[in-house]
Amino acid sequence: MEQEQDYPTVEVENGKVFPSEKNTIRVHKDDTYGGAHEYIITNCLGFSGGQTQYDNTTQRIKFVKKLDDGKMESGLQSEQLVLVLIDRQKKLNARFPSPFNEKALFGLQIFLDAQRARVQDRIDRGVMGELKN
């Protein structure tokens, strides 16, 4: 298991991947957002013996964060992670075609479209890159 840092982490609500009942996602809790910028995810070994198997290793995903003083902490954009998922889903679908894969791709594209609209709205209102609604 990856060593915990000296900051608190909490389980993500609904951090269970069907059909497992194990919550495998934790988030670094912070006072400003309650946790939205750094996630610790337990690695999966696949499905075997009627259960999803996990090991004791983790991966950390860190998202870009603008601090209240204007400083930036580097990290991924949500859109980058979704673009990775789209690429992966397309490649898996090429090998194992399924209407469920197509539905997943459709949902991921809806996410990207909504994010694009949000960014454009913020640009149009002159608040993009600022800590404002």
The percent of residues above 70 in pLDDT, for the chain, comes to 95
pLDDT of residue 60: 96
pLDDT of residue 19: 96
This prediction has a pTM of 0.86
Q: Which residues of the chain have pLDDT under 70?
A: 1-6
Angstrom distance (rounded) from CA 19 to CA 27: 21
Q: CB under 8 Å to 111, separation ≥6 — which residues?
A: 82
pLDDT of residue 6: 63
Is the distance from CB of 9 to CB of 27 less than 8 angstroms?
yes
